[in-house]
């Protein structure tokens, strides 16, 4: 049985690799290309390069849409309702997008072809009601019935119930307590705000204000139809075993509810002011917070509750920044991006074009390098809490996010810059030196690297009843560590003791199957596609047992159509590991790994390249409705619309021109 990919129930079992046939009908030219794989790959690469070059902004950057799920759009409408700033055009366009994402059974999922998700369905339903859809309408009645069958609002995640509490649809007393006094916990104390990953920290601080204020703006209608028993809408949640960690934290939450009743008013006021200062200090130049939508939404609400009116410069800039997350589609629908990825997309595009044979001094690459150089962050951010003496030098993911550079972007930007022959090599050298120093300084104690912070590994934040919305800490991962190791190897630092520690950590993290877990991309195909090129670049021989095990695993999960795919469900269900409908980006990741391992002449590579060639669109692009990016494993999935382009170009380029990249090749 194959996975559902058409927006249906998505409840199927994982497809066997031998049974996962492509449904693409190949044009005669593509079928003919099978007889001449190298020439066909050259033509496909040329078309893809032309398409990618045409997508570059005049300022030098690339950015594809970043698609997540309808909770972004639903919460945007609820925010506008809460602040009283609704407008008919926005509401109509958002509702149109939410309706187009509804599945035939009336529910919503969080990734293409995935199973129905309760909180997403509740939030989408509420947003459509705010937009005027009647509860009796067939699409609404179907959604409400399914919600009740799953336990109703009471079974939703905490964040969904917080949104409903803002309108009186849920009781604040029945939500976990999050006191603003957490701001006073010292940095060494468990559960201080710096124990949380930066994305969670930016969200939790404003939510301490919301939790303290407990605002209620009267709802325009009841939601009785979403409760299993409207007479008892807030049933108690089941208690965890008293001797478990979950039981301990449930008792802690009860104690915090008691504390709320007796908290000293002066202490509470000063804690709220501390949270207020923290929020304002981290507002970016464009008005956003951290370049991502959720912290921006909650920061706007928190500051508004603290007395900032909507005309205040801080709030005005914040609201204007939220509008920039909107993508208006040709059909009139409006999709909200959770964040934007220009730095990430640009460095990946430069790597792809250079590896595909575009001249190192091509104007497009030089212009992209100039833009990236201008984006380097040279001021301290939250990362200095763990590394107070480390000079800055990283890059962030977004247009404006000086507080939160990340290690992954920094490594890939350096790899991109090393591929460009820039007219001012001294400028590039200075930037690369700063970035290398910063990335090395962000190495965790175990020898690996996380995404934003060093040693962000506390076991406690994920245990809080409040934290049921996804990963809230930032431990080292194989994919980020691999990218740093690859960067260091390209810079000639493969024998540096810090690089060797990273390599040792990667070797120890290899799964018994031969694969590596993918934290920021789906999943083992991404992890393996990241690690193998790094290990080989760092000098590991292709005959090494770890390399051979990884190659064998990739070959074992290749689909019958020649490509690779892995479903988001692999994060929860081992049966889905390495299994899923074939996608361009995941096929490219597998090819990049196999090519690095010396498998250019193998049947697996030949079939993978053929799949990319045969499934390319006439304009040089590829289609990819499936989500192959990861925000939080399973809980928050991402479809990076540029992945379908940059990674196939990289893989085809390396197939044609050889692996791995070295600076010597740039000079040739």
Residues 3-27: tens digit of each pLDDT: 333 333 345 667 654 444 333 334 4
Tokens of 545: 């047992």
**Cα 528 to chain centroid, rounded:** 18
Which residue, of 336, 353, 374, is where some domain finishes? 336
| C-beta separation of 86 from 80 below 8 A | yes
Angle (CA) 392 394 395, round 5°? 140
Strand partners, 326: 336
Q: Is residue 94 part of a domain?
A: yes
pLDDT tens digits, residue range 34-56?
448 899 999 999 999 999 999 99
Q: Are residues 328 and 359 in the same domain?
A: no
- Residue 127 to residue 111: CA distance in whole angstroms: 19
Instruction: Find, among 205, 188, 201, 209, the residue nearest to 404 by Cα.
Output: 201
| C-beta separation of 275 from 182 below 8 A | no
Q: Are residues 328 and 369 in the same domain?
A: no
pLDDT of amino acid 10: 45
Q: Are residues 327 and 298 in the same domain?
A: yes
SS3 category, 336: strand
pLDDT higher at 326 or 245: 326
Tokens of 319: 């609201």
Q: Is 6 a catalytic residue?
A: no
* Confidence category of residue 171, pLDDT binned at 50, 70, 90: very high
How far, CA to CA in Å, does 334 sit from each of 76, 95, 330, 631, 652? 11, 8, 9, 21, 34
372 torsion bin: left (phi>0), alpha (psi -120 to 50), beta (else)? alpha
pLDDT tens digits, residue range 160-169?
999 999 999 9
Residue with tokens 């170009």: 649
Instruction: Find, among 157, 244, 143, 79, the residue nearest to 635 by Cα.
Output: 157
pLDDT of amino acid 661: 58
| Sheet of strand 629-632: strand arrangement | 66-67, 636-640, 629-632
Say if residue 440's pLDDT is above 80. Answer: yes
Domain that holds residue 122: 67-233+244-336
Q: What letter would DSSP give residue 170?
A: S
Which residue, of 336, 363, 395, is where some domain finishes? 336
Average the pLDDT over each of 69-83, 459-473, 476-490 and give the range with the smallest value: 459-473
Q: Are residues 348 and 299 in the same domain?
A: no
Q: Are residues 107 and 222 in the same domain?
A: yes
Q: Is residue 26 part of a domain?
A: no
pLDDT of amino acid 6: 36
pLDDT of amino acid 5: 34
pLDDT of amino acid 419: 97
Q: Are residues 150 and 164 in the same domain?
A: yes
How far, CA to CA in Å, does 148 sit from each of 113, 161, 362? 22, 15, 58
The stretch 301-318 carries a mean pLDDT of 96
Q: Is residue 11 part of a domain?
A: no
How far, CA to CA in Å, does 341 sit from each of 66, 229, 376? 7, 44, 15
Tokens of 4: 């559902």
Percent of the chain with pLDDT over 70: 93
pLDDT of amino acid 328: 95
The stretch 613-617 carries a mean pLDDT of 98
The stretch 70-79 carries a mean pLDDT of 97
pLDDT tens digits, residue range 524-557?
999 999 999 999 999 999 999 999 999 999 999 9
Q: Are residues 78 and 93 in the same domain?
A: yes
Say if residue 660's pLDDT is above 90. Answer: no
Instruction: Find, among 532, 529, 552, 553, the residue nearest to 541 by Cα.
Output: 532
Say if residue 114's pLDDT is above 90. Answer: yes
Q: Is residue 483 part of a domain?
A: yes
| C-beta separation of 98 from 128 below 8 A | yes
Which residue, of 290, 316, 336, is where some domain finishes? 336
CATH code assigned at 355: 1.50.10.20
44 torsion bin: left (phi>0), alpha (psi -120 to 50), beta (else)? alpha
| C-beta separation of 662 from 361 below 8 A | no
pLDDT of amino acid 599: 96
Q: Is residue 12 part of a domain?
A: no
pLDDT of amino acid 82: 97
| C-beta separation of 204 from 185 below 8 A | no
* Confidence category of residue 659, pLDDT binned at 50, 70, 90: low
The stretch 333-361 carries a mean pLDDT of 97
pLDDT of amino acid 471: 85
Say if residue 272's pLDDT is above 60. Answer: yes
Q: What letter would DSSP give residue 328?
A: E
Q: How many helices (H) and strands (E) does the chain have?
A: 24, 5
| C-beta separation of 432 from 217 below 8 A | no
- Residue 248 to residue 257: CA distance in whole angstroms: 15
Q: Is residue 227 part of a domain?
A: yes
Q: Are residues 569 and 655 in the same domain?
A: yes
pTM listed for this prediction: 0.92
- Kindly give the pairing relationship between strand 334-336 and strand 636-640: unpaired
How far, CA to CA in Å, does 57 sit from each of 276, 370, 420, 551, 639? 37, 13, 18, 38, 21
pLDDT tens digits, residue range 552-593?
999 999 999 999 999 999 999 999 999 999 999 999 999 999
pLDDT of amino acid 34: 46
Q: Are residues 253 and 374 in the same domain?
A: no
| C-beta separation of 573 from 566 below 8 A | no
The stretch 193-210 carries a mean pLDDT of 94
Catalytic residue from among 73, 408, 479, 567: 408
Neighbours of 577 (CB within 10 A): 22
Q: Are residues 329 and 386 in the same domain?
A: no
Indicate the average pLDDT of the chain: 92
pLDDT higher at 659 or 4: 659
pLDDT higher at 24 or 370: 370
Neighbours of 60 (CB within 10 A): 22
| C-beta separation of 442 from 485 below 8 A | no
Q: Is residue 79 part of a domain?
A: yes
| C-beta separation of 396 from 343 below 8 A | yes
Q: Are residues 50 and 71 in the same domain?
A: no
pLDDT of amino acid 258: 86
**Cα 515 to chain centroid, rounded:** 21
pLDDT of amino acid 42: 96
The number of folded domains in the chain is 2
- Residue 225 to residue 202: CA distance in whole angstroms: 34
Q: Are residues 366 and 399 in the same domain?
A: yes
Tokens of 424: 């001012």
Tokens of 463: 């245990």
Burial environment of residue 203 by CB neighbours within 10 A (0 to 12, 13 to 18, 19 or more): buried
Residue with tokens 């927006």: 7
- Residue 448 to residue 480: CA distance in whole angstroms: 8
Instruction: Find, among 475, 471, 479, 563, the residue nearest to 515 by Cα.
Output: 479
Q: Is residue 599 part of a domain?
A: yes
| C-beta separation of 494 from 596 below 8 A | no
Percent of the chain with pLDDT over 90: 84
């Amino acid at each position: 049985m194959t996975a559902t990919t058409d927006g249906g129930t998505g409840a199927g079992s994982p497809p066997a690799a031998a049974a996962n046939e492509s449904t693409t009908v190949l044009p005669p030219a593509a079928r003919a290309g099978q007889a001449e794989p190298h020439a066909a790959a050259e033509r496909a690469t040329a078309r893809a390069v032309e398409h990618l070059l045409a997508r570059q902004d005049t300022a030098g950057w690339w950015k594809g849409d970043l698609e997540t799920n309808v909770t972004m759009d639903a919460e945007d409408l609820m925010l506008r309702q809460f602040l009283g700033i609704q407008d008919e055009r926005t509401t109509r366009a958002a509702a149109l997008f939410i309706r187009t994402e509804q599945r035939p059974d009336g529910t919503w999922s969080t990734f293409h072809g995935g199973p129905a998700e309760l909180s997403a369905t509740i939030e989408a339903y509420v947003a459509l009601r705010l937009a005027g859809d009647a509860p009796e309408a067939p699409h609404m009645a179907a959604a409400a019935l399914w919600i009740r069958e799953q336990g109703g609002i009471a079974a939703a995640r905490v964040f969904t119930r917080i949104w409903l509490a803002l309108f009186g649809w849920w009781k604040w007393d029945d939500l976990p307590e999050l006191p603003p006094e957490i701001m006073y916990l010292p940095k060494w104390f468990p559960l201080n705000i710096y124990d949380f990953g930066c994305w969670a920290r930016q969200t939790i601080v404003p939510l301490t204000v919301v939790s303290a204020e407990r605002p209620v703006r009267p709802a325009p209608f009841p939601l009785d139809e979403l409760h299993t028993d409207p007479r008892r809408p807030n049933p108690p949640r089941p208690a965890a075993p008293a001797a478990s960690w979950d039981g301990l934290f449930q008792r802690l939450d009860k104690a915090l509810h008691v504390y709320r009743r007796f908290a000293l008013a002066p202490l509470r006021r000063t804690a709220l002011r501390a949270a207020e200062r923290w929020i304002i200090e981290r507002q970016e130049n464009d008005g956003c917070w951290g370049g991502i939508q959720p912290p921006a939404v909650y920061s706007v609400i928190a500051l508004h509750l603290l007395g900032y009116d909507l005309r205040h410069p801080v709030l005005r800039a914040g609201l204007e920044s939220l509008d920039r997350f909107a993508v208006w589609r040709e059909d009139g629908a409006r999709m909200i991006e959770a964040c934007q990825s220009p730095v990430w997309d640009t460095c990946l595009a430069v790597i792809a074009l250079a590896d595909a044979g575009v001249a190192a001094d091509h104007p497009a690459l030089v212009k992209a390098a100039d833009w990236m150089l201008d984006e380097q962050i040279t001021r301290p951010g939250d990362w200095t809490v763990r590394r107070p003496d480390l000079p800055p030098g990283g890059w962030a993911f977004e247009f404006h996010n000086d507080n939160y550079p990340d290690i992954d972007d920094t490594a890939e930007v350096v790899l991109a810059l090393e591929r460009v022959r820039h007219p001012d090599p001294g400028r590039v050298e200075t930037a690369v030196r700063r970035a290398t120093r910063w990335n090395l300084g962000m190495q965790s104690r175990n020898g690996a690297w996380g995404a934003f912070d060093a040693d962000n590994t506390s076991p406690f934040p994920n245990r809080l009843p409040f934290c049921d919305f996804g990963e809230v800490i930032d431990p080292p991962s194989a994919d980020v560590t691999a990218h740093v190791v690859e960067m260091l190897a390209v810079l000639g630092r493969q024998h540096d003791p810090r690089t060797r520690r990273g390599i040792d950590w990667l070797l120890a993290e290899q799964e018994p199957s031969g694969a590596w877990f993918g934290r920021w991309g789906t999943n083992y195909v991404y992890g393996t596609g990241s690690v193998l090129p790094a290990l080989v670049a760092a000098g590991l021989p292709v005959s090494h047992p770890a390399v051979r095990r990884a190659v064998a695993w990739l070959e074992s999960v290749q689909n019958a159509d020649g490509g690779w795919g892995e479903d988001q469900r692999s994060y929860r269900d081992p049966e889905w590991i390495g299994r899923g409908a074939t996608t361009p980006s995941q096929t490219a990741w597998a090819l990049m790994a196999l090519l690095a391992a010396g498998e250019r002449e193998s049947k697996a590579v030949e079939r993978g390249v053929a799949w990319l060639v045969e499934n390319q669109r006439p304009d040089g692009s590829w289609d990819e409705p499936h989500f192959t990016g990861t925000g939080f494993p399973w809980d928050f999935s991402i479809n990076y619309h540029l992945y379908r382009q940059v990674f196939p170009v990289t893989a085809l380029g390396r197939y044609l021109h050889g692996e791995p990249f070295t600076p010597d090749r740039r000079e040739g």
